């Protein structure tokens, strides 16, 4: 395990006794919890909020994270860091008219001192109007990206917008066979929470999206969004319906440490159970000290129309 603190390799100067990194998407920042022995040495270094830390271990890289919480615990010293700096959480009001999606993300990224990139999402999409409602940049972008069917991720000083439909269409990086008797898996199946249809309705536009795979469930109407034309209302209806319905099937499982398991990667599950099918990793938790991983997945949904 290599530990880079404020750009300096301190691996040989510290004694870690615990290190867990959670690689997340869609509304959550990546987090790192690392605990060291010999707390006195850390007191002398005087760590500060927004100090940078990065861990690499057997081809796994946490990317640069920002110190958020410092907890002395007797002879131990625990640091909690996230992929968002404090600037990304500063609240503000704002309105945006006729911005492209790429320009909107870029403007927020610049405010936070971060980079920005899009994968599988059209950056040229025009957003006629959007409001930032006393939110931090990350919360504001997450809300807009969710409506557009995009998973917003923060990694290595940057905002990454990943198109969910695009990610669902990628090849699986891993395949696991699960039997009915297998331990270590938790499957949550809630078809009754699905929406059959979702309508975005405003004084200026109205559009409805449907899920052909929702045999149960109900219809949702959103009248709280500033959709200014039919195209925007239609995109937001499809995006919101996709993001909601994919949350109704969840699968958590423990596996051996695997650096390839990261958020928004595709996984296939085989075997004669209701868990079989295509999934996307929503969060991967890697215990880098004990070398094991837990992946939390959402089922691929390809029935939104």
Over the stretch 169-190, which tens digit does the pLDDT of each residue have? 999 999 999 998 888 899 999 9
Average pLDDT over every residue of 123-133 = 94
Specify the residue for token string 């195209």.
231
Average pLDDT over every residue of 135-155 = 97
Summary mean pLDDT of the chain: 95
Give me the phi and psi of 193, to 5 degrees please. Answer: -85, -10
Residue 252 binned pLDDT confidence (cut-offs 50, 70, 90): very high
Cβ neighbourhood burial of 225 (10 Å; 0-12, 13-18, 19+): buried
Q: Are residues 210 and 282 in the same domain?
A: yes
Average pLDDT over every residue of 25-30 = 90
CATH of the domain at 125: 3.55.50.10
Q: Are residues 41 and 130 in the same domain?
A: no
Average pLDDT over every residue of 109-121 = 97
Q: Are residues 285 and 182 in the same domain?
A: yes
Could you tell me the residue range of the domain that residue 91 belongs to?
87-166
Q: Based on the structure, what is the number of domains in the chain?
A: 3
Contacts for 169 with CB less than 8 Å, ≥ 6 apart: none
Average pLDDT over every residue of 243-262 = 97
Q: Are residues 94 and 78 in the same domain?
A: no
Single residue among 166, 183, 202 that ends a domain in this structure:
166
Residue 276, number of CB atoms within 10 A of its CB? 13
Q: What pLDDT is stored for residue 27 in this prediction?
A: 79
Residue 305 lies in a domain: no
Q: 196-241, pLDDT tens digit by residue? A: 999 999 999 999 999 999 987 789 999 999 999 999 999 999 999 9
Q: Are residues 6 and 75 in the same domain?
A: yes
Closest to 35 in 3D by CA, of 70, 7, 2, 60: 70
Q: 55-114, pLDDT tens digit by residue? A: 999 999 999 999 999 988 888 999 999 999 999 999 999 999 999 999 999 999 999 999
d(CA 7, CA 27) in angstroms, rounded, equals 28
């Amino acid at each position: 395990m290599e530990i880079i603190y404020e750009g300096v390799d301190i691996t040989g100067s510290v004694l870690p006794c615990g290190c867990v990194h959670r690689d997340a998407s869609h509304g959550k920042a990546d987090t790192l919890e690392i605990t060291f022995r010999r707390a006195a040495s850390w007191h002398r270094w005087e760590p500060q909020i927004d100090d940078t830390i990065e861990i690499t271990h057997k081809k796994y890289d946490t990317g640069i994270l920002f110190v958020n919480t410092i907890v002395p615990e007797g002879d131990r010293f625990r640091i909690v860091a996230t992929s968002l700096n404090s600037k990304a959480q500063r609240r503000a009001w704002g309105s945006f008219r006729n911005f492209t999606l790429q320009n909107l993300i870029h403007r927020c990224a610049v405010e936070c001192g971060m980079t920005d990139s899009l994968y599988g999402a059209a950056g040229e999409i025009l957003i006629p109007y959007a409001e930032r409602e006393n939110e931090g940049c990350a919360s504001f972008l997450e809300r807009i990206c969710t409506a557009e069917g995009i998973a917003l991720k923060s990694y290595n000083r940057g905002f990454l917008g990943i198109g969910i439909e695009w990610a669902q269409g990628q090849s699986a990086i891993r395949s696991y066979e699960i039997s009915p008797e297998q331990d270590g898996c938790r499957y949550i199946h809630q078809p009754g929470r699905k929406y059959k249809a979702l309508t975005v309705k405003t004084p200026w536009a109205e559009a409805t999206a449907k899920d052909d795979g929702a045999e149960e469930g109900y219809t949702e109407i959103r009248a709280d969004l500033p959709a200014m034309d039919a195209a925007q209302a239609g995109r937001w209806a499809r995006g919101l319906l996709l993001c909601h319905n994919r949350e109704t099937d969840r699968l958590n499982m423990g596996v051996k440490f695997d650096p390839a398991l990261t958020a928004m990667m595709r996984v296939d599950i085989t075997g004669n159970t209701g868990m079989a099918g295509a999934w996307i990793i929503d969060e991967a938790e890697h215990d880098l000290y004990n070398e094991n991983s837990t992946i939390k997945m959402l089922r691929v949904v390809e029935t939104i129309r």
